[in-house]
């Protein structure tokens, strides 16, 4: 078990990538605080971890609210006496959101986590993993479909994810050597977030043609990258993006 005795806080862990991370960390021996907006899914994932013999709690959390993020950190410390691992994973995207909403969750939420997480971890040490994206490394154009990435929420998503890389570097400098801060840049992963993509054939074709691996990634493939960054196997790594995109940014 790679995370035995560790206390981990994972935001947005009720579904998709966050859920896969929570289940893997629970199976690897970590005590897991699920900080999630959706009460039903958040509770369900905590129960899944417990049913598998692990330790988990759920706290309703909106990471766009600084006080909620502080409460989630405090709840982790209350429950297990420490915070060793913080995964700032919660994120939104798509046409239903405004510029402000996307920035609030995908950028400000990560900032609140880094800021208060680092303060809590500084003395005993710890690890922060931010969920960026390949959209934090490059821009996107979809031929004939400017409403997808040329829109306000699309632009906000690109801006926020580039910002997450900036926060990762900045907080890595602030946290070294006690606290390591890295981020993951996933490519197209099959979750609720990418459902509009998988339901529109031209979009799916575009995503698959641009992905040299020729398929969508699975949440579990990102969870394994998170485990690497959260554990001692990445002990000399800080301030860095780990790209898990099936080759999208290699083109
Ligand atoms: N799926 C992909 O292709 C992909 C690619 C690159 C990066 N990402 C990033 O990975 C992260 C997870 O995405 P996903 O695909 O698993 O999405 P998802 O929609 O499947 O799951 C996101 C979870 O976060 C929760 N959430 C949303 N806003 C929240 C908030 N303000 N506070 C707390 N919880 C909140 C949702 O309720 C949901 O349970 C996001 O940051 C996303 O930008 C995803």
- CA distance linking residue 133 with residue 241, whole number of Å: 9
Burial class (CB in 10 A: 0-12, 13-18, 19+), 170: middle
Q: Which residue is associated with the tokens 């398929």?
A: 215
Instruction: Kindly give the interhelix angle for 109-121 and 66-80, rounded to the nearest 10 degrees.
Output: 40
pLDDT in tens, 8-35: 999 999 999 999 999 999 999 999 999 9
Ligand 1, atom 32: nearest CA belongs to which residue? Answer: 62
pLDDT in tens, 65-97: 999 999 999 999 999 999 999 999 999 999 899
Contact 192 CB / ligand 1 (< 6 Å): yes
Of ligand 1's listed atoms, the one at least distance from the Cα of 64 is: 31
- pLDDT of 144 reads 60
Contact 47, 71 (CB under 8 A): no
3-state secondary structure of 12: coil
DSSP code of 54?
-
- pLDDT of 142 reads 76
pLDDT in tens, 118-154: 999 999 999 999 999 999 999 988 766 666 777 899 9
3-state helix, strand, coil in the chain (%, to 5): 50, 15, 35
Contact 126 CB / ligand 1 (< 6 Å): no
52-to-45, 108, 134, 210, 219 alpha-carbon distances in Å: 11, 34, 33, 38, 19
Closest by alpha carbon to 18, among 58, 64, 73? 58
Ligand 1, atom 42: nearest CA belongs to which residue? Answer: 91
Our mutation pick for probing the ligand 1 site, out of 9, 11, 13, 17, counting the most ligand atoms within 8 A of Cβ, is: 17
pLDDT in tens, 200-247: 888 899 999 999 999 999 999 999 999 999 999 999 999 999 999 999
Domain borders along the chain are 7-242
Token pair in block for residue 208:
């698959």
Distance from the Cα of residue 59 to its chain's centroid: 17
Sign, CA dihedral 39-41-44-46, equals negative
Determine whether 157 is an active site residue: yes
In whole numbers, what is the pLDDT of the chain averaged over residues? 96
- pLDDT of 225 reads 99
Q: How confident is the model at residue 159 (pLDDT cuts 50, 70, 90)?
A: very high
3.30.460.80, 3.40.449.10, 3.40.50.720, 3.90.1150.10: CATH of 7-242: 3.40.50.720
- pLDDT of 198 reads 83
Strand partners, 58: 34
- pLDDT of 25 reads 99
- CA distance linking residue 134 with residue 241, whole number of Å: 10
pLDDT at 114 over 70: yes
Strand partners, 24: none
């Amino acid at each position: 078990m790679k995370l035995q005795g560790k206390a981990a806080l994972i935001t947005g862990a009720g579904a998709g990538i966050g859920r896969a991370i929570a289940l893997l960390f629970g199976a690897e021996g970590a005590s897991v605080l699920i900080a999630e907006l959706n009460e039903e899914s958040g509770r369900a994932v905590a129960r899944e971890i417990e049913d598998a013999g692990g330790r988990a709690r759920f706290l309703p959390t909106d990471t766009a609210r600084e006080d909620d993020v502080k409460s989630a950190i405090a709840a982790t410390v209350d429950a297990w006496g420490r915070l060793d691992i913080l995964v700032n994973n919660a994120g939104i995207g798509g046409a239903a959101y405004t510029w402000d909403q996307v920035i609030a969750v995908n950028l400000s939420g990560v900032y609140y986590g880094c800021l208060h997480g680092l303060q809590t971890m500084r003395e005993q040490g710890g690890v922060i993993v931010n969920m960026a994206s390949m959209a934090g490394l490059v821009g996107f154009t979809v031929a004939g479909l400017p409403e997808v990435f040329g829109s306000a929420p699309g632009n906000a998503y690109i801006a926020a994810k580039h910002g997450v890389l900036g926060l990762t570097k900045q907080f890595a400098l602030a946290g070294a050597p006690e606290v390591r801060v890295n981020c993951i840049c996933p490519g197209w992963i099959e979750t609720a977030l990418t459902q509009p993509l998988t339901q529109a054939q031209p979009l799916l074709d575009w995503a698959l043609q641009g992905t040299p691996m020729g398929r969508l990634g699975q949440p579990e493939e990102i969870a394994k990258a998170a485990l690497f960054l959260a554990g001692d196997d990445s002990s000399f790594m800080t301030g860095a993006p780990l790209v898990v995109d099936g080759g999208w940014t290699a083109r």
